[in-house]
Amino acid sequence: MCYAIPGKVVSVDGDTATLEYFGERKKASVIRNGGITPAAGGYAFAQGGIVVDVITESEAVPMLEAWKERFFELKRIDDGIANAKAEGKNDNGIFFKKIESGMLATRSDMEKVLAAGGADGGDAGALESLFSFANHVRAKALGNSCCVHGIIEFSSHCRNACAYCGLNKNNEKIKRYRMGPGEIVETAVHAARSLGFRALVLQSGEDAYYTDEMLAEIVRRIRERCGVLIFMSIGERPFESYKKLYGAGAYGVLLRFETSNPKLYAVMRPGKRLDGRLALIRRLITAKFVVATGFIVGLPGSTNQDLINDILLTKSLRPGMYSFGPLIPHPETALASAPRVPLSQALKAIAVARIADPDSKILATTALETLDRDGRRKGLLAGANSLMINLTPEAYRRDYEIYPGKAGNSGKTQDTIRDTLQLLHSLGRAPTDLER
């Protein structure tokens, strides 16, 4: 099983390594205090633009042999799909031509595109052409690269009262759990060593039970035993806490700003302010963390203007990855009776984000899959190029209920991995690292 292809190290220049994947060259940074030192002529794994592991020639060669044929076959499949893009009609047609000529999408272009086709049941032809155009833009900018991250949800305790989230502290109906440090480490090491993951997200509610020191120790113990990119998704902590985690080897953070509308933010996250969260996200990006960020699509009270602002704000942050997905109302939250977000709206958000920021990484999220069983595939065909697989131990998985009916809740991890690989194969996507 393999979620990343090793690259041959062509050169190391200061803190930048150049890796080659079957003739394609990509750059990745070397974090000196990470203890991973690639050397020209050797082999390395990169994730999110960072070298996370080095391996020997005798380990790398059989992996590359196994990937070689498939690598070119996948490219052919993706090219076949992405080149068969539909010609847009009317406004879509004018818009696509403009983008193809190298111009940027304006706010008014985005407005028109989001309005095209309306909600579900609208003009299907217009939507299909939009999605296939976005897919074409993705392929042109980044080829068939696709990131696959594993996520471990280690605690469902939370001190916040977010209006959208089932883990909010006022929900007395869900079972709360915490994984012990040893259990988290073992789950992560198993994911990396036995399942082949090279990027892992450690996620929880905002749970002060885990001190910075405890989390740093968990990260250190994982990094001692495996070369993976670790993302912390633990909500707001002081920047200094995140620095400690970086020092321990967690170079990634997944922290969404949730909505770019400050008024809506204050309603959705009682007692919290958008500028506080954004300041943290900005500081993390400046400090060279790989930051995945984004928003929730379809919060009640949000408009297409808000969605455009959400996309443009994400773009302006230049994050390592876009992470956004549709609201799935949870019955034990203030948004219990919020209208269901049409799948088309969630897909349009992906397509518009892709067209607005062609060389970005965009996740097809679990929420999208929860909305529609085929959501990941549809998302990947509307401009997305990253996926997450839930690796939370099966005993806890159902209790991490940020929203109900979460895709991947039932079923075995092994089956999910197999299905995901089949999906990627059928779409011609290869797990090479991406960088802008």
Q: Which residues bind ligand SAH (CB under 6 A)?
A: 164-165, 203, 205-206, 233, 235, 255-256, 258, 296, 325, 327-328, 330, 367, 402-403
In the bound state with ligand SAH, the residue whose beta carbon lies nearer, of 116 and 232, is: 232
To ligand SAH, the closest distance from the beta carbon of 119 in angstroms equals 18
To ligand SAH, the closest distance from the beta carbon of 245 in angstroms equals 14
In the bound state with ligand SAH, the residue whose beta carbon lies nearer, of 29 and 365, is: 365
In the bound state with ligand SAH, the residue whose beta carbon lies nearer, of 193 and 263, is: 263
To ligand SAH, the closest distance from the beta carbon of 367 in angstroms equals 4
One-letter-per-residue 3-state SS of the chain: CCCCCCEEEEEEECCEEEEEECCEEEEEECCHHHCCCCCCCCEEEEECCEEEEEECHHHHHHHHHHHHHHHHHHHHHHHHHHHCCCCCCHHHHHHHHHHHCCCCCCHHHHHHHHHCCCCCCCCHHHHHHHHHHHHHHHHHHHCCECEEEEEEEEECCCCCCCCCCCCCCCCCCCCCCECCHHHHHHHHHHHHHCCCCCEEEEEECCCCCCCHHHHHHHHHHHHHHCCCEEEEECCCCCHHHHHHHHHHCCCEEECCCECCCHHHHHHHCCCCCHHHHHHHHHHHHHCCCEEEECEEECCCCCCHHHHHHHHHHHHHHCCCEECCEECCCCCCCCCCCCCCCCHHHHHHHHHHHHHHCCCCCEEECHHHHHHCCCHHHHHHCCCCCEEEEECCCHHHHCCCCCCCCCCCCCCCHHHHHHHHHHHHHHHCCECCCCCC
In the bound state with ligand SAH, the residue whose beta carbon lies nearer, of 8 and 361, is: 361
To ligand SAH, the closest distance from the beta carbon of 288 in angstroms equals 20
In the bound state with ligand SAH, the residue whose beta carbon lies nearer, of 140 and 315, is: 315
To ligand SAH, the closest distance from the beta carbon of 370 in angstroms equals 8
To ligand SAH, the closest distance from the beta carbon of 325 in angstroms equals 6
In the bound state with ligand SAH, the residue whose beta carbon lies nearer, of 165 and 284, is: 165
